Structure 1
Amino acid sequence: MIATVRAGVAVAMLAGFYLLALVQLVAVFGLGAWLASLIPGLLALKLIWPLLVAASGTVGLALWRAIRSRPEPPEGLPVTPAQAPMLWNVVRNLATEVGTRPPDEIRLVPIVNAAVVEQSRLLGLLSGRRHLYLGIPLLYGLSLAQLYAVLAHELGHYSGRHTALGAVAYRGRLAIGGTIARIGRYNPIGWGFKGYARLYLLVDHAVVRRQELEADRAAVRVAGRQAAGDALRELHVIDAAWDFYFSRYVGPAWESGHTPEDLFGGFRHLLANRQPELARLRQTTPDDQPSRWDTHPPLAERLSAIAGAPVQNVAVDDRPAALLLPELDLLGRELQAALIDTDGRAVLSWPELTAFTAGAATERAADRVVTRLTEVVAGTAPPCLGILLDLVEANRLVELAQPLLPAATRRELPGEFAPMLVPVLTLAALRSGAVRWRHSWSGPPELLGVQDGRPLDLAELAQLAVVPETAPRARYWLGALGVDLAAPLSATPASGSPGGPETGTAHAGPPADQVLGGFAHLKVNDVPHDVLVLGSGLILVANPDKSELGQKRLTRLIESMPVAELTERHQFVPYAEIGRAQILKSVPLRAELTLTDGRQLTLAAGWTTPLLNKDSDSVLIRLLGSETSGRLPRPSADGGPVPVAGSTGGGPAGQAGVPSGGRGADGARVLDGLANVKVDNAQYDLLVLDVGLVLIGDPGPFHHGRERLLTLIRRWPVAEIADRNWLIRYEEIVRARVNRSIPVRADLELGTGHRITITEPWTTQTLTDQSGQVLIDALRSVGAEVVG
C-alpha cells in the first residue's frame, strides 16, 4: 500500500510537471489578451513577445524534443537466443514469475553488475525496448540461485505486482530531466520547472528506495530468502575480487604497455584458486553510511528486509551460473575484443605477462643498488654481480651500502643490506637464464630454477653475499645455479625479464635514435627549450626561435641533420642518467628529474605547448618509468597539508582558465566516486558531492582507483579536496545530457561557456556499485536529460 501511494504521488507529480507547462502557456496568452484590451495591440505584442517566445517557443520545443529524444545505442556484446538458449529461457521464465515482460536483448558487459534498461517513450509514460546488461564477472562468480535472485531483482523494477504505477514512476524519473535540460538558464519560464523538478526528486528518491526493497521481495519470491541474501553479499565479494584481480594481475601489465589475451578467463581462474580469501570476505558485511541522496537502502537494511520476507519453498541451485553459457570463455574474448581498447598494447598470454611484469618489478627493486654500484665503479668496469662480490670481499661494503642506508650502523649494515640485494641476485639470475618466473593464481609469482624446476629463494644467498667471509660461498652457489657473475646488470634484459618473457617472445624497446615525440617551447628549469623524445634520452634545444610555429620548428629540427648529430650539438640527457623521475602533473606535463650526478631538471609544459604528435606527453611519461604524485596535497611532517607543485586546480586539457571554484565547499559531503573517468581526452578521478562534482587530475594507475579514492576522502577534508581541484557546482551547469547510462557518458555545458564530456570507461573502479547511478541522479537534480 505504501509503495502504491508513493508511486501514485510520483506519477501525479510527473503529470503535474507537464501540466505546469500548459498552465504557464495559457497564463502567458491570457496576459497578452488582457494587455491588448488596455493598450494598442502592437505595443501589447511587443511587451508580451519575450514571454510568448519563452513559453510557447523554448518550453514547447523542449517538450517536443524530450518526447522525440532517442538514446545512443547500448554498448556490450549482444547474446542471441541461438547463442545462449538456456540463459534466454531462464530470463524469460523469471520475467513471467515477477510479472513483467522479458527484455528484448541481452548484452554481456565487463562490470560487476546487472541492470535492465528500457528505452521508454512519451516522457516515460510508455514502455519501450528493454536491454538486460549482464556482467561477465557475475556469471563466473555467482551460483545459479544467486544469479536468479539478481535477475529477478532487476526485472522486478518493472513488475506490475509491486504496483501498477511503479513501472511508470520508474520510467518517469528517467525522463523528467529531458525537458529541464533544454530550457535555458536565464529563461524565467524555466525557473518554475526547475524548482518543481527538485521537489519531484525529493519525493522520487523515497519511491526509488522503496522500489529497491520491493525488487528484493521479487528476488525472494523467485529464488528464496537464502539465495536473495547470499546474492547481495556475494556481489560485494565478487566486486572486491574483481578489484584485486585488476590491481594484482591486470593493472601492472596494462601500465607497462601490455594486456592479457584472456581478460575474463583469468578472473575465472582467480576465483577458483582464491577460495580461502573469498571465504573470509564472505564473513564481513560492508559498512554503509546512509544519505538522504542515496537511491539504494543500506545493505544491512536490505538484508534485514529479506530475512523478514515470507518464506518461499524454493530449491537452491548451487551450480555455477556459467552453466547457462557453455561458451562463456569464448564470448569473453569476443567482448574483450569489442569493448576493451588496448591502445596499442601488446597482447600476451598470462605466463608471458607474469614473466614481463615480475621481471620489470625486479628491475625497479634492484635499481637503487645497481645505480650505487655504478657510481662506486664509475669508469673502471661495467656494474655486475661479480664486481659487487669483489667489493664485499675487499671489506668495502660500507662504501657501497652506507649511502643507501644512512641510518644503519656498521654492525647493522649487512643485515639491512641483504634484503636489498635479493632483487639484484634475482636480476642477475634472470639475465643469465638461470631462473624463470612461474605464473600463479593463488599467490605471487614463483621464481623457479631452470635446472630442476623447483622454487628458489635467494634470500639465504643474499645473507652469505654481504659478509666477506661467506661471500666466496655465495659466489660458488650462484655459479652452480648458472648465474653469469660477469654479465652487466644494466645491459639489455635477457629471458624472463621485461625485455624477453620466458617463452622467448621478443618485446624490444624502441630504437635508441628514434624520435618518439617532442615538445616546442617546453620550460626546462624555467628556460624555454624545444625537446625531442628519443628511445634513449632527451635532446634539449635551449632558447628556440619563436618566429616559426612550434610543430613545424620541431619537424624542421628533425629533418635538419641525423639524430646522432643532434645529440652532439645540443644537450642530451640519457634515460640511464636519470636516477629518479617524478610526474607532478600529466596534463599539462610537469616533471622533476633527478640525475645520477645530483642535478635536477624541472620540465613544465603549458596548456598551449605545441606537441610533435598527440602522444608525446604519454610517451615521455612511459619512458621515464616515473612515479606519479598526482595533484593532491601531501601530508607534511606534522600531518598538515603541503601544496603540490603545479596544483592550480585547472580544468581538463583545452579548458585553460577554468577556475577550481573550490572555495566555500565547507560542510559538503561525498556521495560517491569514480576513478579514472575521461573528461574529454584527459583522465580524472571524480567525486560526486552534494554540492557539485570534483575532478582530480593526474589520478594515477586505474587499478588503484578505489583504494586511491578511499584514501583521499579519509585523509583530507572534503572542502580542501574541492579547493585544490576542479569543483563544478551544480548551479554552474547550464545544460546536461546523459547519452548513455551503462557505462555513463554525459555532456555538460557550464555557465562559462565551456562544454565537457564525462565518460566512464568499462575499467573504471568506483566507491560503490551504484556510483554511475549516483552520478546520473546528481545530474538529474539539475535537470539533466537522460536518454541512454
Structure 2
Amino acid sequence: MRSPWRAVLALTVLVGFFACAAVLAAGLAGAALYAMADGDIGMTAIELLLCSALLGTAVGLFLPPVLRVRHRARGHVVDRAAQPELWEVIDELAGIARSRPPDELRVVPGVRIAFWEDAPVLGLVPGHRCLEVGLPLLGGLTVAELRAVLAHELAHLGDREGRPHAVAYRATALVEQVVADSEGDWRRPVLRAWGNLVLSVAAPVNQRQEQVADEAAVAAAGVEAACAAFRRMAALERAWSDYGQQYLAMAPIARRTPDVLLGFRSYLSAPRRQREWAELEDEALDAGPSGPHDRHAPLRERIEAMRAAGGEEPEADDRPAWSLLTSPGRSVPELEDALLVDLGPRAPWPELVRAAVVRKAEDAARRLSRAVLDSGVRVDGRAAQTTVAGVLLAVHRGLGCELVKPALDPGLAPGEVSAASDALLVELLGGAVTAALCRTGRARPELNWDGPCWLRLASGQVVDVERLVGPAVRTPGLVPQLHRHLVRIGVPLDFAARPAEPPEPELVASANGVRCDGDPHDVRVYDSGLLVLPAGSPARKPLPELRRRPGARWVCGHDVEWARLVHRQSGWDVWLQLRGGDELELTSASDTAHDGDPQEGMARLLGDRLEVEDVRQRRREPVHR
C-alpha cells in the first residue's frame, strides 16, 4: 500500500473549498461582534459584517447543490432471493476486491457496468451501494469475462490500496456528478472550477485505484479473461447499437417480442460480425482519453501491465454470462420483459423476421400505390397504373420522379430532389416486388445474422430486390431487362397493393387578412403546402373541403421552385416562383391576424428554397410590385 498523503490532500481540497469560506465568514463575524462589544461601531465593524454576510451567502448558495446530489437509481432490481447464485458470485468478488458488497443489484438496458455509493456529506460518509449491470453484458460476455468486469468495478470502492484512496475515489465521483448536474445553472462556472481543482489533485489517486481494479480483475478471472473482457467491452456498445438498429427495430414492425439476449449472442457469433468486432477491439487499444479527467490509462498499456504482472491462470469459464442466473431459460425472458417494451407475443427470430419483412414490404407497396394515385401522372395518355407493370412503364417513360413526388419531403432543396426520388422509388418498388413474391408464395424471407435478411425464392436462389431494381430506376433504358428478370423469377406483374390512407396534412400556422392580388385572403400553411382562401373562410375545416371552396388555391410544396420572404416593420412579404412560370405574392399588414408562425411554417415547408431578408432595421421599406 502506498502513502495515502495524496488522497488526504484531495479530500482536504474537497472539503476546504467550502470549509475555509465558512470559517472565514465566522471569523469576520466574530471580529465584527468583538469590535462592537467594545463600543466601536464604525466603518471597520460594518465592513467586517458585510464581508461575513457575503461569504456566508456564497456558502449558502453553492453548498446546497453539492449536499443535495444523489445518484438516480434505474433499471430492474434483482434481489438475493431471486438470484442467489449471482449474488454469491458478487459477494465472492467483493471479497477479492476488498470492498463492501453492494446493497442493491440492478439490471439496466444499455451496455453499462457501474458501482456507485449514495454517500452523504460530500461523499465522505458511507452510504447505500448499488451495482448496475447492463443487460447486454449477460449475452455479450462469458462468465469469466463478467467476473473480471464485476471485480474491476467493485474494486473502485475497495480498500486494496487503503481506505483514504477509496474515499477519495468515491468523493471525486460525486464531484463529477455535481458538475454534470449543474448544466444550465448560473452557479456552474464556480462549481466547475471547484470540480476541476478537486479532480486534478485527485487524479493520481484515481489512476492508482484503476490500476488496483485491474489487479482485482486478474485475481478474479485470470489474465486472459481480464484482457479479453476489457477488449470486448470496448466493442460491445457499438455492437449493441448496431444490433438494435438492424434487428431489434424489426420487432415493432412484426408486433412480436424477440429473445433479445439469445439473438444478441447469435449476432456476435456470426463470422462477419466477429471480424468487425475484432477490428473495433484493435482500434480501442490505442484510443485516447474520453475526457480531461479520464482515470484510465490506454487499453494497450493496461493489458501490457496485466500480462507483465502475471499470476495464476484459472480454467476459463466460457459459458455465456447468463449462466450465472438461476434457471436462465426463465430468468432471461423475465429480465427482458422487465426492461423492454412489450411488443406482443414472444416469437423466435426466424418467425419475427419473416413477419417484419413481409409487413414492411406490404407497407411500401401501399405507399407506392398511394403516391401513384396522388401524382396524377399520365402515361401514353392514360392515368398511371398502380400495378408493378404500370410503375415499370412509367419509369421507362422517364416519369419515375413524378410518380413518387407526393411521398417526398417538400422541404428538400432542388438539388436533392432527383437523388431522393430515385432512392424512394427503389425502396417502394422493391417493397412492391417483395410483397408480390411473398404473397404468392414464390419467396420467403430468411434470417441472416451476417447482414441484411435474405429473400429466398422457391428455387433456393437468394435475391437482393433493391440491387435488382436500382439500376433500372436510375437508368430507365434498363427497364425492359428488369421486366424480363422479374418475369423469370415469378413476380406477378399485375400485382397492386391497396393504396395507403392519405396522410392527414398538419396545419402549421395560419394568417388572416393577407393581401393576394390586391384583395384580402386567408392563408393556411400546412406541412405539405400552402392554401390561399378568400377572406372569412371557416377556420377549422378539413383540408379537402377547404380546397373545394370557390376561390381556393392550393400550392403544393413540391411545385415551389424558389421563394423569398422579406420581414418588414409592419409585416412580411412572400414571393413564390412556381413550376410552369406562375408566381404568387402574399403581403401581410399590421392588422393581419396570426395563429402560429406562418414564416416559420414556410421555412419548414420550403427549406433551402426560401431566401429570407430582414429590412426592419432600415428606414424605408421596400416598394412592392
Normalising by structure 2, report the TM-score: 0.69
1:540 corresponds to which of 528, 531, 554: 531
Do the aligned partners of residues 76 and 43 (structure 1) sit closer, same or farther apart at CA in structure 2, a change above 3 Å counting? Answer: same
- Partner residue of 1:201? 199
Q: CA deviation at 1:45?
A: 6.3
1:530 corresponds to which of 504, 524, 530: 524
1:223 corresponds to which of 200, 221, 224: 221
Q: What is the rounded CA distance, in whole Å, between the counterparts of 1:400 and 1:477 in structure 2?
A: 21
Residues 539 and 567 of structure 1 are in contact (CA less than 8 Å); yes or no, is this contact kept in structure 2? no
- Partner residue of 1:87? 86
Matched, 1:430 2:457: no
Residues 370 and 502 of structure 2 are in contact (CA less than 8 Å); yes or no, is this contact kept in structure 1? no
Structure 1 segment 339-418 matched on structure 2, within 5 A: 349-357=352-360, 374=377, 376-377=379-380, 379-387=382-390, 397=396
**1:597-629 superposed Cα distances (whole Å, 9 cap, x missing partner):** 89999xxxxxxx9679xxxx9xxx9xx9x9xx9
**1:297-354 superposed Cα distances (whole Å, 9 cap, x missing partner):** 2212211221222413433212211101255576665556555579x99999443333
Q: CA deviation at 1:243?
A: 2.5
- Partner residue of 2:306? 306
Q: What is the rounded CA distance, in whole Å, between the counterparts of 2:3 and 2:402 in structure 1?
A: 70
- Partner residue of 1:448? 456
Q: What is the rounded CA distance, in whole Å, between the counterparts of 1:241 and 1:610 in structure 2?
A: 47
**1:743-763 superposed Cα distances (whole Å, 9 cap, x missing partner):** xxxxxxxxxxxxxxxxxxxxx
Do the aligned partners of residues 79 and 325 (structure 1) sit closer, same or farther apart at CA in structure 2, a change above 3 Å counting? Answer: same
**1:246-282 superposed Cα distances (whole Å, 9 cap, x missing partner):** 332345877x898965554532332243564356437
SS in 2 for 1:127: coil
Q: CA deviation at 1:86?
A: 1.4
Which letter does structure 1 place at the counterpart of 2:539? L
Do the aligned partners of residues 279 and 599 (structure 1) sit closer, same or farther apart at CA in structure 2, a change above 3 Å counting? Answer: farther
- Partner residue of 1:412? none
Which letter does structure 2 place at the counterpart of 1:108? V
Q: What is the rounded CA distance, in whole Å, between the counterparts of 1:260 and 1:106 in structure 2?
A: 25
Q: What is the rounded CA distance, in whole Å, between the counterparts of 2:426 and 2:105 in structure 1?
A: 54
Residues 532 and 539 of structure 1 are in contact (CA less than 8 Å); yes or no, is this contact kept in structure 2? yes
- Partner residue of 1:439? 447
Residues 507 and 524 of structure 2 are in contact (CA less than 8 Å); yes or no, is this contact kept in structure 1? yes
Residues 3 and 211 of structure 1 are in contact (CA less than 8 Å); yes or no, is this contact kept in structure 2? no
- Partner residue of 2:157? 158
Matched, 1:492 2:498: yes
Q: CA deviation at 1:10?
A: 1.6
- Partner residue of 2:12? 12
- Partner residue of 1:29? 29
2:510 corresponds to which of 495, 508, 521: 521
Which letter does structure 1 place at the counterpart of 2:451? G
Q: What is the rounded CA distance, in whole Å, between the counterparts of 1:309 and 1:421 in structure 2?
A: 58
- Partner residue of 2:263? 266
- Give the gaps of 5 or more residues in structure 2: 404-421, 517-521, 562-575, 585-593, 613-625
- Partner residue of 1:295? 295
Q: CA deviation at 1:42?
A: 8.0
**1:725-772 superposed Cα distances (whole Å, 9 cap, x missing partner):** xxxxxxxxxxxxxxxxxxxxxxxxxxxxxxxxxxxxxxxxxxxxxxxx
Do the aligned partners of residues 32 and 445 (structure 1) sit closer, same or farther apart at CA in structure 2, a change above 3 Å counting? Answer: same
Do the aligned partners of residues 441 and 126 (structure 1) sit closer, same or farther apart at CA in structure 2, a change above 3 Å counting? Answer: same
Structure 1 segment 79-158 matched on structure 2, within 5 A: 79-158=78-157
Aligned residues: 546
Q: What is the rounded CA distance, in whole Å, between the counterparts of 1:335 and 1:599 in structure 2?
A: 62
Q: What is the rounded CA distance, in whole Å, between the counterparts of 2:157 and 2:532 in structure 1?
A: 65
Q: CA deviation at 1:382?
A: 1.7
Q: What is the rounded CA distance, in whole Å, between the counterparts of 2:46 and 2:177 in structure 1?
A: 30
Do the aligned partners of residues 470 and 350 (structure 1) sit closer, same or farther apart at CA in structure 2, a change above 3 Å counting? Answer: closer
Residues 109 and 134 of structure 1 are in contact (CA less than 8 Å); yes or no, is this contact kept in structure 2? yes
- Give the gaps of 5 or more residues in structure 1: 405-416, 494-508, 546-552, 581-592, 602-608, 630-642, 648-788
Do the aligned partners of residues 199 and 598 (structure 1) sit closer, same or farther apart at CA in structure 2, a change above 3 Å counting? Answer: farther
Q: CA deviation at 1:145?
A: 0.9
SS in 2 for 1:521: strand
Q: What is the rounded CA distance, in whole Å, between the counterparts of 1:350 and 1:460 in structure 2?
A: 21
Residues 119 and 127 of structure 2 are in contact (CA less than 8 Å); yes or no, is this contact kept in structure 1? yes
- Partner residue of 2:568? none
Which letter does structure 1 place at the counterpart of 2:445? W
Q: What is the rounded CA distance, in whole Å, between the counterparts of 1:600 and 1:324 in structure 2?
A: 72
Residues 251 and 258 of structure 2 are in contact (CA less than 8 Å); yes or no, is this contact kept in structure 1? no
**1:369-391 superposed Cα distances (whole Å, 9 cap, x missing partner):** 99999465564442544346668
Which letter does structure 2 place at the counterpart of 1:351? R
Residues 156 and 215 of structure 1 are in contact (CA less than 8 Å); yes or no, is this contact kept in structure 2? yes
Which letter does structure 1 place at the counterpart of 2:510? H
Q: CA deviation at 1:153?
A: 0.3
Matched, 1:557 2:546: no
**1:228-257 superposed Cα distances (whole Å, 9 cap, x missing partner):** 111111112322321221332345877x89
Q: What is the rounded CA distance, in whole Å, between the counterparts of 1:322 and 1:153 in structure 2?
A: 19
Residues 372 and 384 of structure 2 are in contact (CA less than 8 Å); yes or no, is this contact kept in structure 1? no
Q: What is the rounded CA distance, in whole Å, between the counterparts of 2:219 and 2:210 in structure 1?
A: 14
Residues 76 and 339 of structure 1 are in contact (CA less than 8 Å); yes or no, is this contact kept in structure 2? yes
SS in 2 for 1:121: coil
Q: CA deviation at 1:478?
A: 4.3
Residues 156 and 209 of structure 2 are in contact (CA less than 8 Å); yes or no, is this contact kept in structure 1? yes
Matched, 1:170 2:173: no
Structure 1 segment 37-56 matched on structure 2, within 5 A: 40-41=40-41, 46-56=46-56
Do the aligned partners of residues 117 and 33 (structure 1) sit closer, same or farther apart at CA in structure 2, a change above 3 Å counting? Answer: same
Q: CA deviation at 1:198?
A: 3.5
Do the aligned partners of residues 13 and 461 (structure 1) sit closer, same or farther apart at CA in structure 2, a change above 3 Å counting? Answer: closer
Q: What is the rounded CA distance, in whole Å, between the counterparts of 1:361 and 1:277 in structure 2?
A: 33
SS in 1 for 2:153: helix
- Partner residue of 1:408? none
Which letter does structure 2 place at the counterpart of 1:6? R
Residues 99 and 160 of structure 1 are in contact (CA less than 8 Å); yes or no, is this contact kept in structure 2? yes
Structure number having the greater strand percentage: 1
Residues 100 and 158 of structure 1 are in contact (CA less than 8 Å); yes or no, is this contact kept in structure 2? yes
Which letter does structure 1 place at the counterpart of 2:268? L
Residues 77 and 338 of structure 1 are in contact (CA less than 8 Å); yes or no, is this contact kept in structure 2? yes
SS in 2 for 1:485: coil
Higher Cα radius of gyration = 2
SS in 1 for 2:309: coil
Q: What is the rounded CA distance, in whole Å, between the counterparts of 2:288 and 2:176 in structure 1?
A: 27
- Partner residue of 2:548? 568
Q: What is the rounded CA distance, in whole Å, between the counterparts of 2:316 and 2:113 in structure 1?
A: 20
Q: CA deviation at 1:162?
A: 1.8
Normalising by structure 1, report the TM-score: 0.56
Residues 137 and 242 of structure 1 are in contact (CA less than 8 Å); yes or no, is this contact kept in structure 2? yes
Q: What is the rounded CA distance, in whole Å, between the counterparts of 1:595 and 1:137 in structure 2?
A: 53
Do the aligned partners of residues 84 and 573 (structure 1) sit closer, same or farther apart at CA in structure 2, a change above 3 Å counting? Answer: farther
Do the aligned partners of residues 337 and 12 (structure 1) sit closer, same or farther apart at CA in structure 2, a change above 3 Å counting? Answer: same
Residues 222 and 312 of structure 2 are in contact (CA less than 8 Å); yes or no, is this contact kept in structure 1? yes
- Partner residue of 1:78? 77
Structure number having the greater helix percentage: 2
Residues 250 and 356 of structure 2 are in contact (CA less than 8 Å); yes or no, is this contact kept in structure 1? no
Residues 92 and 102 of structure 1 are in contact (CA less than 8 Å); yes or no, is this contact kept in structure 2? yes
Q: CA deviation at 1:204?
A: 1.8
Residues 63 and 179 of structure 1 are in contact (CA less than 8 Å); yes or no, is this contact kept in structure 2? no
